[in-house]
Structure 1
Amino acid sequence: MTNKIMKKERGKRIYLLENNCLQVKVVPSMGGKTISIFHKEKQFELLYDRGGTQLKKSKRGDSFESGEASGFDDAFPCIEEENINFQNHNLCYEDHGEIWTSSMSLENDSLLDTLKLKVQGVHLPYFYEKRITLSEDTVSYHYKITNKGEFEFPCIWAMHCLVRYEDDMKLLYPDQVLEFENVLRSRELGEEGTIHQNMGNNQSELNVRNINYSYTFDKVPSKESKTMLKYYVKSDSKEGFCGYEYPTSGVRCSIRYEKEMLPYLGVWVNAGGYRGEYNCALEPANGYYDSISKALERKKCKILTVGESISFSIHITLNTI
């Protein structure tokens, strides 16, 4: 049986969904951010937490770097901040979108296993609904986004879910991954735009301008590397699946989603290179590249037409291994 309670924690009103297997904590005033997915038997926290006695609430237009930058946020309608002209409309996209700085309204209902949240877009005319449910070892996120305006607009939704880093953790990809594209200059993966062939077991060796890049994509760099990486699985997903294994903790995290709605998969690995922190994020998305303009150039960006609604779900399961 699942229980749903509201309490004050770290300076914010937090809703707790809990059953015999998991505890899930959600903050409506921070864009419906999930700050904890906790496996009770293993005493294992999946999400990255910066710690501290207070959660930092960012305001509209703040940089993501200056904010909490932890847990599970929804990146919508973009990831990268920019202003573009699209079909004679000047459109403003804030850093990591508008949701993470928004205060979401909570719909009152008697369902103990469900939270229903909603918010209206600011710079773009959309209505955003999120329903979070807990069942046994799985927490599910159900989304519906509707264009309520009089013009269509490009948008990216990405699962910005920062998880804990462990030295021996393993990244799990969809089947039949052939290539990875680097989108952030690094010593491990080279220049932005470098393509790495998957040589089997998610290993890649590439020689570009007499510089050899060798990297194992299902592992993470050591803590001593002080690096950060961002890359994409180059092709559309053949399977709506990704996840993590934590051998030391004895936990496997499986993430399942509709590959037709979220056909692209970005990957963020932070081994101390960003703010001196350690976390990872597998990011199913409906846009390829973090920038709206670059995604449009590649014709890999969702255009939300007038009156159109898109609906999709994310299911996060924690199992023991």
Structure 2
Amino acid sequence: MTNWTRSEIEGREAWTGDSGLLSVTVVPELGAKAVSLLNRRTGREWLWRSGKPLGGKGFGTPFGESDESGWDEMFPGINACAYPEAPWQGEAVPDHGEVWSLPWQAETDADGLICAVEGKRFPYALEKRYSFPAPDTVRIDYAVTSRADAPFSFLWAAHPLMRASAGMRLRVPDGLDAVEVSYSAGARLGAFGDVRPWPEAAPGVDLSVVEPDAGRHAEKYYFTGKLKEGWAELDDPRTGEAATFRFPAERVPYLAVWANYGGYGGHYHVAVEPATGRMDDLARAMNRGEAATVAPGERYAWHLELSVR
């Protein structure tokens, strides 16, 4: 039986679900972001906090002007761009999308915590439901419902900033052997769109191993092509602990990684980012047939599970 309790964090309503082994804390007012993911058995807090006060400067502002902490949802885009097709052609998609900077409604029922938000510039409703299918696992069921009279294309990606520790390892399904660069501080991996081998992307650069906080490197990349298996794992060989992400590859066919070793904002964290589209720019993804689409009045659903050990 999972208990959900209401509290306040920095003056804002927060909800904490506790399975006895794993707890998650969500702040609905701040994009329904998770600010804590705690393995209660080991005491390990998986989510990174920047040290800034929670919150930001409001809708449509750059993500870097917010607290940047925890686990946000990026939807319906990632990089700031203009929607490329009618009837919303030219409408601005904000940095990291709309929903991270909007307040969500939240309520509990017998099955978990339900959070919901309406789009501001685009006609959709996005909902997510937190539950605990097992004591070591939190599950988030997502659904976007179209309010439009035309097909609506979108990018969604989870953005769980995890506390990094040098030597942690990233495990992914067999057969993934190349990545496409979205961002690379100092162009260590090259420019946007460059393709590099996985995991040895360059001499002395093993992308599967978390690097020390050297203050120089930060990279965002996507594995090339669609996934056949929907999972990835971040594990710590020093302690035997791990966080494993599982998701349906037929609904969430792409996987990205954000690894910041001090090269962006001086922060030190890593994010495993299952995604419904590729390469952060919604217009580019639509042009390449790598964005998800919801039909008028229809619903597009998916889920993500995270297990700890």
- Does the CA-based 8 Å contact 1:33-1:71 persist in structure 2? yes
Gaps in structure 2 of 5+ consecutive residues: none
Whether 1:173 and 2:169 are equivalent positions in the alignment is no
| Counterpart residue number, 1:210 | none
- Does the CA-based 8 Å contact 2:130-2:141 persist in structure 1? yes
Worse-superposed segment, 162-171 or 98-107: 98-107
| Counterpart residue number, 1:217 | 207
The one-letter code of the counterpart of 1:171 is: L
Residue 107 of structure 1: CA displacement? Answer: 3.0
Residue 47 of structure 1: CA displacement? Answer: 0.8
| Counterpart residue number, 2:182 | 183
Residue 225 of structure 1: CA displacement? Answer: 4.9
Where 1:295 maps in the other structure, the secondary structure is helix
Residue 66 of structure 1: CA displacement? Answer: 0.4
Residue 88 of structure 1: CA displacement? Answer: 4.8
Identity %: 30
User: TM-score, length-normalised on structure 1?
Assistant: 0.90
Where 1:166 maps in the other structure, the secondary structure is coil
Whether 1:197 and 2:187 are equivalent positions in the alignment is no
Query: How many residues matched?
Result: 306
The 1:305–1:92 alpha-carbon spacing in structure 2 relative to 1, beyond 3 Å, is farther
The 1:282–1:271 alpha-carbon spacing in structure 2 relative to 1, beyond 3 Å, is same
Question: Where does 1:152-167 land on structure 2 (aligned, <5 Å)?
Answer: 152-167=151-166
- Does the CA-based 8 Å contact 2:30-2:102 persist in structure 1? yes
The one-letter code of the counterpart of 2:164 is: Y
Where 1:115 maps in the other structure, the secondary structure is strand
The one-letter code of the counterpart of 1:116 is: I
Question: Following the alignment from structure 1 to structure 2, what is the Cα–Cα distance between the partners of residues 204 and 98?
Answer: 33
| Counterpart residue number, 1:102 | 102
Whether 1:238 and 2:235 are equivalent positions in the alignment is no
- Does the CA-based 8 Å contact 2:168-2:209 persist in structure 1? yes
Question: Where does 1:1-321 land on structure 2 (aligned, <5 Å)?
Answer: 1-51=1-51, 54-90=53-89, 91-109=91-109, 111=110, 114-134=112-132, 135-185=134-184, 186-198=186-198, 202-205=199-202, 213-319=203-309
Worse-superposed segment, 181-190 or 147-156: 181-190
Question: Following the alignment from structure 2 to structure 1, what is the Cα–Cα distance between the partners of residues 222 and 284?
Answer: 14
Residue 297 of structure 1: CA displacement? Answer: 2.4
- Does the CA-based 8 Å contact 1:168-1:219 persist in structure 2? yes
- Does the CA-based 8 Å contact 2:27-2:35 persist in structure 1? yes
- Does the CA-based 8 Å contact 1:188-1:214 persist in structure 2? no
Worse-superposed segment, 123-132 or 303-312: 303-312
The 1:107–1:4 alpha-carbon spacing in structure 2 relative to 1, beyond 3 Å, is closer
- Does the CA-based 8 Å contact 2:152-2:293 persist in structure 1? yes
The one-letter code of the counterpart of 2:73 is: D
Question: Following the alignment from structure 2 to structure 1, what is the Cα–Cα distance between the partners of residues 118 and 94?
Answer: 15
Question: Following the alignment from structure 2 to structure 1, what is the Cα–Cα distance between the partners of residues 98 and 187?
Answer: 32
> Which stretches of structure 1, 4 residues or more, deviate above 4 A after TM superposition?
none
- Does the CA-based 8 Å contact 2:76-2:97 persist in structure 1? yes
Question: Following the alignment from structure 1 to structure 2, what is the Cα–Cα distance between the partners of residues 108 and 221?
Answer: 40
- Does the CA-based 8 Å contact 1:175-1:238 persist in structure 2? no
Gaps in structure 1 of 5+ consecutive residues: 206-212
The one-letter code of the counterpart of 2:4 is: K
Residue 61 of structure 1: CA displacement? Answer: 1.0
Where 1:270 maps in the other structure, the secondary structure is strand
Deviations 1:115-167 (A, max 9, x none): 01111111111011110012300011001101111122221011111111100
The one-letter code of the counterpart of 2:231 is: F
The one-letter code of the counterpart of 1:43 is: G
Residue 214 of structure 1: CA displacement? Answer: 4.5
Question: Following the alignment from structure 1 to structure 2, what is the Cα–Cα distance between the partners of residues 275 and 121?
Answer: 29
Worse-superposed segment, 96-105 or 294-303: 294-303
Q: Highest Rg: 1 or 2? A: 1
Question: Following the alignment from structure 2 to structure 1, what is the Cα–Cα distance between the partners of residues 19 and 130?
Answer: 14
